[in-house]
Chain A
Amino acid sequence: MKRTPLFAAHEALGARFVDFGGWEMPVQYTGIIAEHQAVRQRAGLFDVSHMGEIELRGPRALAACQALTVNDVGRLHDGQAQYSLLCLPSGGVVDDIIVHRIAPERLLLCVNAGNTAKDLAWVREHHGGAEVVDRSAEVAQLALQGPRATDILMPVTDLPLREIPSFSFREGQVAGRRALVARTGYTGEDGWEIYCGAEAALAVWNALLDGGRPLGMAPAGLGARDTLRLERALPLYGHELTEETTPLEAGLGWVVRLNKGEFIGRDALRRQRETGVQRQLVGLMMHAPGIARQGYRIFHGPDAVGAVTSGTKSPTLGKAIALGYVASTWKEVGTKLGIEIRGRTSEAEVVPLPFYKRAV
């Protein structure tokens, strides 16, 4: 299994590890719920160096990115980032990614760890004349998330953080090392994703840990990352997103810019937008004891109408929540459905998404 440059640091903190997309990653340090609450109330620090980084370079970089992704890269200025998707001609999702425009001839794609090899092959196959550079091994990534994230990062960077809006980034210094600092995240909180050289990761990690502890920050693992993203209804590849699901079915229609020009998947997605989707990702709240998990079947009366893609007990709400696909007939908020848990059907209801949204 692969390890990030911070593996020994996690071990020293008493982390418990899990295999995630071929990486030996910390799943928790003290406990998932405590780490989840730390992020919601104060701050948490995640090692997400397993994520892949692919750069498109050269005069054809923008056009190539425009053809590869469903969102409109033409709307980005230097220093801006955008949530986007790589799709198949069928409209199925290859991966969900963040595109960073460093310069007109330099675009950085942050991709999912488990998809990095697949994405790289896909991007190389459809390079459109751009140079494709895999930077995954040389780049480490830390996510500092939570209402106190900016206060914690401020003393160790030369960047004017308050001037960097959401989904924007700057290059500067963190803990004396060169870094790209983006106001992005995967928790539903304000926060930062910090890209630095693999050799700088430990210095940046330690500086943030030392500075953050007095402000109640905790190192947080993939367990809390999952409950945090699920409360905010952010999709996870392999659960809500697969090559068999389209962005429109997943409720990501806002990401798909059909009028921006040619891109892979456009025709299929245009057809689906015209005809409507047969199934839809919905939020579900359990009204009976039990927790819905990936793969559990969803019923309307005696009829199987879908399946759960992710589920947990929400630490913030204290109730069991789930995301799942149901036949579009049953997608409306308030619809009463059943989820089969160990042979018995437990009552659930379609609720608005996200389950949790931070107060602005």
Chain B
Amino acid sequence: MEFPEDLKYSKEHEWVLVEENVATVGITDYAQDQLGDIVFVEMPAIGDKVSKEDAFGVVESVKAVSDIYAPVSGKVLEVNDDLPDNPEMVNEDPYGDGWMIKIEMNDPEELHDLMTAAEYEEYVAEEKE
């Protein structure tokens, strides 16, 4: 199970990579492992507004449907267009090719509510119990 140091993490198991005012978002290694084989991904459109802790998309495994929540608020700048045709990339490379959207942040202060890699690893360990 990987927990890259340079990312921030949400309680809903999304990761965030911050580059200036832009947050790249995906789901964590732990999340993809829990979901199992991902067979469908539904993404928002470029320009859509997303709000922190609101669902912005959907991932479906063979068995179940799960919402994906925005870890920060803002406007969708970019969407990973490869995912709808290759949803298994979320399983294979959750922190790389499996990224989902880029958000232009309204309020970078919201980042303080997210966890560090060490905090998230601990959070996951507690959730497993």
Stretch at the interface among A24-32, A78-86, A110-118, A145-153: A24-32
Partner of A31, one of B36, B60, B84: B36
Quote the shortest CB–CB distance from A225 to chain B (angstroms).
11
Alpha-carbon separation in the docked complex, A226 to B65 (Å): 16
Interface of A is mostly: mixed
List B contacts of A223 (CB < 8 A).
36, 62-63
A293 at the interface (CB under 8 A from B): yes
Quote the shortest CB–CB distance from B129 to chain A (angstroms).
15
B37 at the interface (CB under 8 A from A): yes
Alpha-carbon separation in the docked complex, A342 to B58 (Å): 10
Query: Are B63 and A27 within 8 A (Cβ)?
Result: yes
Query: Are B39 and A291 within 8 A (Cβ)?
Result: yes
Which interface class (under 10, 10 to 19, 20 to 34, 35 or more) fits A?
10 to 19
Quote the shortest CB–CB distance from B87 to chain A (angstroms).
9
B78 at the interface (CB under 8 A from A): no
Please, what's the 1-or-0 string for B54-75, where 1 marks a CB less than 8 Å from any CB in chain A? Answer: 0000101111010000000000
List B contacts of A342 (CB < 8 A).
42, 58
Known: A32-B36, A289-B40, A291-B40. A312 touches B58 (CB 8 A): no
Partner of A32, one of B40, B42, B58, B62: B62
Q: Give the contacts of B27-53 with A (CB-CB under 8 A).
A: 36-37, 39-40, 42
List A contacts of B65 (CB < 8 A).
291, 293
List A contacts of B58 (CB < 8 A).
342
Alpha-carbon separation in the docked complex, A320 to B58 (Å): 16
A33 at the interface (CB under 8 A from B): yes
List A contacts of B36 (CB < 8 A).
16, 28, 31-32, 223
Partner of A290, one of B37, B40, B61, B63: B40
Alpha-carbon separation in the docked complex, A34 to B37 (Å): 9
Known: A289-B84, A290-B42. A32 touches B37 (CB 8 A): yes
List A contacts of B63 (CB < 8 A).
27, 32, 223, 226, 312
Alpha-carbon separation in the docked complex, A239 to B36 (Å): 22
List B contacts of A291 (CB < 8 A).
39-40, 60, 65
Look across to chain B and name the residue whose beta carbon is closest to the beta carbon of A312: B62
Alpha-carbon separation in the docked complex, A226 to B63 (Å): 9
Q: Give the contacts of A256-289 with B (CB-CB under 8 A).
A: 289
Q: Give the contacts of A1-43 with B (CB-CB under 8 A).
A: 16, 27-28, 31-34
Alpha-carbon separation in the docked complex, A227 to B60 (Å): 14
Alpha-carbon separation in the docked complex, A226 to B36 (Å): 15
Partner of B39, one of A28, A34, A293, A313: A313
Alpha-carbon separation in the docked complex, A27 to B37 (Å): 12
Query: Are A33 and B37 within 8 A (Cβ)?
Result: yes
Please, what's the 1-or-0 string for A300-330, where 1 marks a CB less than 8 Å from any CB in chain B? Answer: 0000000000001101000010000000000
Look across to chain B and name the residue whose beta carbon is closest to the beta carbon of A318: B39
Query: Are A227 and B62 within 8 A (Cβ)?
Result: yes
Look across to chain A and name the residue whose beta carbon is closest to the beta carbon of B91: A31
Quote the shortest CB–CB distance from B48 to chain A (angstroms).
15
Alpha-carbon separation in the docked complex, A94 to B79 (Å): 48
List B contacts of A290 (CB < 8 A).
40, 42
Query: Are B62 and A289 within 8 A (Cβ)?
Result: no
Alpha-carbon separation in the docked complex, A31 to B36 (Å): 6
Look across to chain A and name the residue whose beta carbon is closest to the beta carbon of B33: A16
Q: Give the contacts of A313-358 with B (CB-CB under 8 A).
A: 313, 315, 320, 342
List B contacts of A32 (CB < 8 A).
36-37, 61-63
Alpha-carbon separation in the docked complex, A27 to B34 (Å): 12
List B contacts of A226 (CB < 8 A).
63
Alpha-carbon separation in the docked complex, A291 to B61 (Å): 10
List A contacts of B62 (CB < 8 A).
32-33, 223, 227, 312-313, 315
Alpha-carbon separation in the docked complex, A342 to B66 (Å): 12
Query: Are B42 and A289 within 8 A (Cβ)?
Result: yes
Quote the shortest CB–CB distance from A52 to chain B (angstroms).
24
List B contacts of A227 (CB < 8 A).
62
Alpha-carbon separation in the docked complex, A327 to B58 (Å): 30
Alpha-carbon separation in the docked complex, A290 to B42 (Å): 8
Listed from nearest, the 10 A-B pairs whose CB atoms lie closest are A313-B39, A32-B62, A33-B37, A31-B37, A291-B60, A291-B40, A32-B37, A223-B63, A312-B62, A32-B36
Pick 5 A–B contacts, CB within 8 A, sort by A. Answer: A31-B36, A32-B36, A226-B63, A227-B62, A320-B40
- Not counting A31-B37, A313-B62, A315-B62, a sample of 5 additional A-B residue pairs whose C-beta atoms are within 8 angstroms of each other reads A16-B36, A31-B36, A33-B37, A223-B63, A291-B39
